[in-house]
Structure 1
Amino acid sequence: MTEKPCAGKGLPTFPTFGGQGMAFNPLDHKGIPLDKQVRNWQELNVDPIDPDRADPYTRCRIITMNGIEVEAIMFSHHFNRICPDMEVKRRLAEVRYIEQQQQKAVNWLLPGQSSVLETTIAYEQVAVDLTGWVARMEPDPYLKQAYEFGVLEDFDHLYRYANLYEMIEHRKAEKIVDGLTEIIPGRPTPLHHRAPVDNLREPYDRTKAAPVSKLHALTIMSAEQQTMNFYMNVGPLYMEPIARRLYQEIGLIEEEHVTHYESLVDPGETWWERLVNHEYNECYLYHSFMETESDPRIKAIWELHLNMELEHLRIACDLMREHDGRDPESILAPALPEPVTFEPNKQFIRGLLATQIDLTTLGTGYVREAHERFERMQEQINGAGHVPSDEVLEQHTAQFGSDYRLSTDGRHPDPAQRRQDEQE
């Protein structure tokens, strides 16, 4: 490692890593000592990205890392609440304070002039392209199916919010996603409402699962949890009745998604094992985004935070050795997987639309036929009509003559119509 100045506003000098493409094992590197990590107000006062000029995937990386940091903070708080050891509580509190500073630096990169709806559309772009990438890379077929199932629902949420955005702000979501992500119908949002028991999945086996599978599950759970929390808080801030109602509906579906993804994590993992997995995942994602970031200033922040997380991981590993009696190397990969990459997933999503749009869940599995429990839930929540996600399309059509959609390849989004178009 060599030393270089951080390209951020007022940020300190920190180590940098050479050799892009080389296997990187976080356990082999020293980070910034914990007592050197506290930043003052000038250092935390980062300049936000320019919403009109920034790479949309830079914004996606910011949103992702905010979700990861929030999960790390809340996990540490929950651990603190059940931990009787004062020395452990002290270490958790010290690291947690730095995680809070990291979260502030990351989330404050978002521009204040963006509206809640613009940020919402960016959140759903994250959900589509992050989950789509994870689904493509996941080696376990059952876990892969969980991500494929969920991404078709987030895809439809993006479509519904894009229609709402044009209705109440008179702008097109194309400006936000920049053509990187299509905005067309997915699995219809009204069909996402399922009985709570049908949102539970089988967890991976912590003794057999590939290390990357554990990182994938933790990443998508954290991202969906962030979205759930965001909608719970911002939904009632709108004056427009249709906006308030759409956030309420999709916010309830995000509850289902968090249940869906958190169920994938083996509940047999000890608190120490979970602590190590959280810190290792933060190293993985900061390293991934440092490798793939297009904005040099933001890249420097990812690298600075990686150097901090290396020390957080070392502390977590020491706690695991002392209190769990195991070496962290027994549960971690010898090197980080290939970097998490934000990139278009258009053809992958199109393939899922053609083959999985009619799926629902039954218990911990998936079926194509509506079953009694699903139909009962549909009747309970949608039976009286006035479904917000359908009403937003009806109102958009009444206002503009059609729904809003962004098909970037010029082909019809409906698979049957698309085949007909190709034949013609």
Structure 2
Amino acid sequence: MTFNPLRERGIPLDQQIRNWRELDVTPIDPDHADPYTRCRVITMNGIEVEAVLFSHQFARNCLDPDVQRKLAEVRYVEHQQQKAVNWLLPGGASPLETTIAYEQVAVDLTAWVARMEPDPYLKQAYQFGVLEDFDHLYRYANLYEMVQHRKAEKIVDGLTEVMPGRPTKYHHRHPADNVREPYDRNEASPLSKLHALTIMSAEQQTMNFYMNVGPQYMEPIARQLYQEIGLIEEEHVTHYESLVDPGETWWERLVNHEYNECYLYYSFMETESDPKVRAIWELHLNMELEHLRIACELMRQNDGREPEEVLAPELPNALTFEPNKAYLRELLDTQIDLTTLGAGYVREAHERFERMQEQIHGGEEPPSERVIDEHRERFGRDYRLETEGPHPVARLREDQSARA
């Protein structure tokens, strides 16, 4: 059954304000909730934060007070949605536990998008980024066992493997090499636009989260690791936001944001295992349908175009959180040694990359390496969760040695 959000009617805007009792949602159970329920919560928090920030930027660049007022009305509801979604996270979780969940989102969300992306250049951008998030998960999992004496398998539940990806110390690139070529707004698939906006929003929220929670730890290695990976998340936001065509008008961006929210709430409503959380996705979908209608009307009035010119006539297949183990192992086999040069990708450590490495590391091992060294000193091993056999890069090296 197809679902066209342009033809559906939502809750009227003046009926969307919730009181405190309605906003006081019951958080998910940290011990028994589906890990992918937590992933959906984290994703939608990032999507709603992006919606609010975009609306504020739009208002600051808008000369029409009537449009500013309409944006403010919708934005207030988006704020309430963000509060309801983010407050689904359990209060007892430590920032590090939430961090591991954030990285599980980054791994399985980006891997799914990479698998589904129709544009080869955009697909490569997601494939490149996911191997770095994969390594971040591994570094934080080792820190988690050191600091809180717990294992990340309790959080990821075996759905996502924990093992080295592209080593974090090699993620530090010259800023100019983080800028990709954008899609063409007139040629790109509507699905490609949704993918770019989704991953950009998720990475932006991860960046914001690390910027704020990093100094909450007393252990020097924890504070240092958050600093290092937080800087890389800024690179990732640059990487993904540059995929979006800067020639899109404010009105195009507005309808794309609202359509994407409809798409994701619909997707998560269709795949959610927790009935209480699914009810929130359904409620927010019905709110977003009205937000989309308002955005479309503003586009007609101010951009002189029909929203059907830029939006898909029906929602794509539901975005799904699911294991991507085989796909990630294939990428580890084939792309672990990539870096960027200009808007492309290379396997050689070029001059600009090496100069950045010297500047940021200063001849010392970065926190991402030291956390593994300290873990091995304490436990005699690093922490991994490999459910599909040996690490593919180790297996590849064994095969190469055997052939030699």
**Shorter-chain TM-score range:** over 0.9
Match of 2:146 in 1: 167
User: Please, which of 34, 39, 46 is the counterpart of residue 25 of structure 2?
Assistant: 46
1:183-222 matched pairs, under 5 angstroms: 183-222=162-201
- Whether 1:395 and 2:378 are equivalent positions in the alignment is no
1:39, 1:412 → 2: CA distance? Answer: 49
1:421, 1:110 → 2: CA distance? Answer: 47
Match of 2:295 in 1: 316
2:395, 2:337 → 1: CA distance? Answer: 13
Match of 1:5 in 2: none
Paired residues of 1:411 and 1:418 also in contact (CA < 8 A):
no
Match of 2:217 in 1: 238
User: Please, which of 271, 290, 300 is the counterpart of residue 292 of structure 1?
Assistant: 271
2:143, 2:122 → 1: CA distance? Answer: 32
Match of 2:329 in 1: 350
Paired amino acid for 2:239: H
Deviation at 1:192, TM superposition (A): 0.1
Matched length? 402
Deviation at 1:386, TM superposition (A): 3.4
- Whether 1:416 and 2:396 are equivalent positions in the alignment is yes
- Whether 1:151 and 2:151 are equivalent positions in the alignment is no
1:127-146 matched pairs, under 5 angstroms: 127-146=106-125
Paired amino acid for 1:415: R
User: Please, which of 263, 266, 275 is the counterpart of residue 242 of structure 2?
Assistant: 263
Paired amino acid for 2:250: W
Match of 2:282 in 1: 303
User: Please, which of 1, 5, 9 is the counterpart of residue 30 of structure 1?
Assistant: 9
1:322, 1:419 → 2: CA distance? Answer: 63
Paired residues of 2:132 and 2:171 also in contact (CA < 8 A):
yes
Deviation at 1:415, TM superposition (A): 3.5
Identity over aligned pairs, percent: 78
Match of 1:65 in 2: 44
Q: Alpha carbons of 1:166 and 1:90: their partners in 2 closer, same or farther (altered >3 Å)?
A: same
1:324, 1:419 → 2: CA distance? Answer: 59
TM-score, L = length of structure 1: 0.93
Paired residues of 1:354 and 1:415 also in contact (CA < 8 A):
no
SS at the partner of 2:340?
strand
Paired amino acid for 1:219: T
2:231, 2:176 → 1: CA distance? Answer: 15
SS at the partner of 2:6?
helix
- Whether 1:274 and 2:267 are equivalent positions in the alignment is no
**1:227-281 Cα deviation digits (max 9, x unpaired):** 0000000101110000000000000000000000000000000000000000000
Q: Alpha carbons of 1:422 and 1:49: their partners in 2 closer, same or farther (altered >3 Å)?
A: farther
Paired residues of 1:182 and 1:406 also in contact (CA < 8 A):
yes
Match of 1:179 in 2: 158
Match of 1:383 in 2: 362
1:209, 1:286 → 2: CA distance? Answer: 23
Match of 1:126 in 2: 105
TM-score, L = length of structure 2: 0.98
1:235, 1:27 → 2: CA distance? Answer: 42
Q: Alpha carbons of 1:214 and 1:418: their partners in 2 closer, same or farther (altered >3 Å)?
A: farther
2:399, 2:33 → 1: CA distance? Answer: 36
1:421, 1:297 → 2: CA distance? Answer: 53
User: Please, which of 92, 95, 98 is the counterpart of residue 116 of structure 1?
Assistant: 95
SS at the partner of 2:232?
helix
Deviation at 1:420, TM superposition (A): 8.0
C-alpha RMSD of the superposition: 1.3
Paired amino acid for 1:254: E
Paired amino acid for 2:260: N
Deviation at 1:409, TM superposition (A): 1.8
1:36, 1:422 → 2: CA distance? Answer: 68
1:244, 1:172 → 2: CA distance? Answer: 19
SS at the partner of 2:293?
helix
2:220, 2:274 → 1: CA distance? Answer: 38
Paired residues of 1:133 and 1:345 also in contact (CA < 8 A):
yes
Match of 1:223 in 2: 202
**1:359-387 Cα deviation digits (max 9, x unpaired):** 00000000000100000000111132031
Deviation at 1:173, TM superposition (A): 0.1
- Whether 1:247 and 2:226 are equivalent positions in the alignment is yes
Structure 2 portions without partners, runs of 5+: none
SS at the partner of 1:361?
strand
SS at the partner of 1:366?
strand
**1:292-343 Cα deviation digits (max 9, x unpaired):** 0011111110000000000000000000000000000010111000000000
- Whether 1:99 and 2:78 are equivalent positions in the alignment is yes
Paired residues of 2:372 and 2:382 also in contact (CA < 8 A):
yes
User: Please, which of 383, 386, 389 is the counterpart of residue 407 of structure 1?
Assistant: 386
Match of 1:331 in 2: 310
Match of 1:365 in 2: 344
SS at the partner of 1:152?
helix
Q: Please identify runs of 4+ aligned residues in structure 1 that moved more than 4 A.
A: 417-423
Deviation at 1:422, TM superposition (A): 11
**1:39-88 Cα deviation digits (max 9, x unpaired):** 00000000000010000000000000000000000000000111110100
SS at the partner of 1:268?
coil
